[in-house]
């Protein structure tokens, strides 16, 4: 009886190994060839595995979100969201707390299933990417390591699980400046060190695309500058960098493009300049003038004129040309005429005003 059972068990083990191997081979042949444009990356699929005669377009690293929706019982965290993130640029993903940034990024990275809509990277859903870590690096607010494990071992495990040589762990540790802490356990790490470890993990596969959720959280000013330089360098290298944040001033210094959401919906999208320009109606004109009252009278009904303590006027609702012409009509001498562009913070508050933030 005992020997019969052992034979049974052996058959079971052999059977499952055969099944697993065949399954794996089949999967390796499935995905489209994405012959790398990046010479640093080896071809993803060895010659013999490729069956299709017409090569697919190369992996371009563009992120396309279309009609993405996520509903949790009652709450629509992300609501019919569509935007495109281009390679070679840093794209800031802005929104107040609870706007749905994290939820969107989790859906892009295949960690949460969308209620509706799709998110693709280089035209492919994250979970269908062959060797995803070699294409996309992700950092999420839930990214953590085992409390009792060293940061270095955390990275080595990731390398091991995707077949990247384990020495890569030391390289990315060095890159994020964590080498001295690499052999200490995660529970002793400060918030900033945890973020650095998360960024190191995202860089393991030398990815074309980086998706980072609030990476500046917990970093000191030095760390923030370091990260800004790193992300800019990565974008300049032709990579796609999507960074969510609520630190608006930081975004203005870092981002080339912006995607602004509030209450799960898109409110603005485009280059930083175009988003600021779209808010030009809220631009203020500052005038220093000989006779404030005459000019105030000369400005039309639409203009809002605020007199400051030193006698300068802040005018909104008219552009500088119109103010100059009004001054000429009124016969007053203009000493100074300046258009003050709104900064990102103003635009952001304006765009997201009145939207339920914490849901």
Partner 1 sequence: MTPLDSLVISAAPRTGFAPMQRVRAEIMKIRTTNTWWMFSIGIVLVTAEALLRNGVSHHYDLHPALAGLDPADKAQALATAARAHTHAGQAAIASNMMTSGQFLGVLFAMLIGVLVVTNEYSHQTATATYLANPRRGTVIVAKFIAAACFGALFWLVSTLIDVIVTPIYLHSQQLGVSLADWAVVRSVLLNLLAFIMWAIFGLGLGTLIRSQLGSVITGIAAYLLGTAAVAVIFELIYNAYHHTWVQGAIVIAPAVASLVMTTPGQAFDRAPPQWTGLIIMIGYTLLFGTIGVQLTRRRDI
Ligand X SMILES: Nc1ncnc2c1ncn2[C@@H]1O[C@H](COP(=O)(O)OP(=O)(O)O)[C@@H](O)[C@H]1O
**Using CA atoms, how far apart are residues 107 and 86, in angstroms rounded to an integer?**
18
Q: Of ligand X, Mg ion, partner 1, none, which one does residue 95 interact with (CB within 5 to 8 Å by kind)?
A: ligand X
Our finding on whether 40 is near partner 1 (CB under 8 A) is yes
Query: In whole angstroms, how close is the CB of 55 to ligand X at the nearest point?
Result: 38
What stretches of the chain adopt beta strand conformation (E)? 63-72, 75-85, 90-94, 116-121, 136-139, 209-213, 240-245, 257-262, 265-271, 284-289, 304-307, 313-316, 334-340
To the nearest whole angstrom, how small is the minimum distance from the Cβ of residue 78 to ligand X? Answer: 7
Find the DSSP H helices in 89-150: 101-108
| Interface residue with partner 1, options 101, 134, 196, 284 (CB under 8 A) | 134
Torsion (CA) 240, 246, 247, 253 in degrees, nearest 10: 30
- Interface with partner 1 includes 106 (CB under 8 A)? yes
Q: How is residue 56 annotated by DSSP?
A: P
| 103 touches Mg ion (CB under 5 A) | no
Residue 120 neighbours by CB distance under 10 Å: 16
C-alpha pair distances (Å), 72 with each of 69, 94, 114, 118, 262: 10, 21, 10, 17, 17
Does the footprint of partner 1 cover residue 169 (CB under 8 A)?
Answer: no
What does the block give as tokens for 284?
């203020």
92 counts as binding partner 1 under rule CB under 8 A: no
Looking at the chain, the number of H-run helices and the number of E-run strands are 11, 13
Contact between 102 and Mg ion (CB under 5 A)?
A: yes
What is the maximum span of the chain, computed from C-alpha positions, in angstroms?
112
Q: Are 337 and 295 in contact, with CB atoms under 8 Å apart?
A: no
Closer to partner 1 by Cβ: residue 166 or 286: 166
Nearer to partner 1, 131 or 256 (CB): 131
Q: Does 2 bind partner 1 (CB under 8 A)?
A: yes
> Which partner, Mg ion, ligand X, partner 1, none, binds residue 245 by CB below 5 to 8 Å per kind?
none
Measured from the CB atom, the residue of 101 and 168 that comes closer to Mg ion is 101
- Stretch of residues binding partner 1 (CB under 8 A), selected from 82-90, 105-113, 274-282, 283-291: 105-113
94 within 8 A of 165, measured Cβ to Cβ: no
- Using CA of residue 203, residue 208, residue 211, residue 215, what is the dihedral sign? positive
Give the residue, chosen from 34, 85, 99, 109, that forms a contact with partner 1 under the rule CB under 8 A.
Answer: 109
> Taking the complex as a whole, how short is the minimal distance between the CB of residue 266 and ligand X, in angstroms?
13
Site stretch for Mg ion (CB under 5 A), options 20-28, 102-110, 199-207, 295-303: 102-110
> Which lies closer to Mg ion via its Cβ, residue 108 or residue 323?
108
Q: Which is nearer to partner 1, 61 or 205 (CB)?
A: 205
33 lies in the site for Mg ion, by CB under 5 A: no
Which residues are at the interface with ligand X (CB under 6 A)?
72, 75, 77, 95, 97-103, 359
Strand partners for 118:
66
The answer to whether the Cα torsion of 259, 260, 266, 270 is positive or negative is negative
Identify the CA nearest to 140 among candidates 150, 124, 126, 153.
Answer: 126
Could you say which residues in the range 214-273 bind partner 1, by CB under 8 A?
Answer: 229-230, 233-234, 237
Length of the chain: 359
98 binds, among Mg ion, ligand X, partner 1, none (CB under 5 to 8 A by kind): ligand X
> Interface residues with partner 1 (CB under 8 A)?
1-6, 8-9, 12, 20-21, 24, 27-28, 40-42, 106, 109-113, 126-127, 129, 131-134, 138, 140, 142-150, 153-154, 156-158, 160-165, 168, 171-172, 174-175, 201, 203-206, 229-230, 233-234, 237
């Amino acid at each position: 009886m005992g020997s019969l059972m052992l034979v049974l068990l052996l058959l079971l083990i052999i059977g499952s190994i055969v099944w697993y191997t065949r399954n794996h081979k089949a999967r390796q042949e499935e995905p489209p060839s994405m012959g790398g444009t990046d010479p640093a990356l080896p071809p993803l699929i060895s010659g013999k595995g490729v069956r299709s005669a017409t090569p697919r377009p190369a992996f371009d690293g563009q992120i396309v979100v279309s009609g993405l929706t996520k509903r949790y019982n009652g709450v629509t965290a992300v609501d019919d969201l569509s935007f495109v993130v281009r390679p070679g640029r840093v794209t800031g993903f802005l929104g107040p707390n609870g706007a749905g940034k994290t939820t969107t990024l989790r859906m892009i990275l295949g960690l949460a299933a969308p209620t509706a809509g799709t998110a693709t990277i280089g035209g492919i859903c994250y979970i269908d990417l062959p060797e995803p870590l070699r294409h996309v690096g992700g950092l999420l607010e839930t990214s953590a390591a085992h409390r009792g494990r060293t940061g270095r071992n955390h990275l080595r495990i990731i390398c091991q699980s995707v077949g990247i040589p384990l020495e890569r762990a030391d390289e990315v540790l060095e890159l994020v400046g964590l080498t001295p802490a690499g052999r200490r356990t995660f529970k002793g790490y400060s918030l900033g060190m945890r973020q650095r470890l998360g960024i190191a993990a995202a860089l393991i596969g030398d990815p074309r695309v980086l998706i980072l959720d609030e990476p500046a959280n917990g970093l000191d000013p030095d760390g923030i500058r370091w990260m800004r330089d790193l992300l800019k360098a990565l974008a300049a290298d032709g990579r796609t960098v999507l960074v969510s944040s609520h630190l608006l001033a930081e975004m203005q210094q870092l981002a080339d493009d912006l995607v602004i959401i509030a209450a799960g919906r898109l409110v603005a999208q485009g280059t930083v300049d175009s988003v600021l320009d779209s808010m030009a109606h809220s631009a203020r004109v500052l005038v220093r003038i000989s006779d404030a009252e005459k000019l105030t009278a000369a400005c039309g009904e639409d203009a809002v004129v605020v007199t400051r303590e030193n006698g300068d006027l802040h005018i909104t609702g008219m552009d500088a040309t119109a103010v100059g012409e009004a001054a000429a009509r009124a016969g007053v001498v203009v000493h100074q005429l300046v258009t003050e562009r709104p900064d990102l913070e103003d635009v952001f508050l304006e765009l997201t005003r009145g939207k339920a933030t914490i849901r």
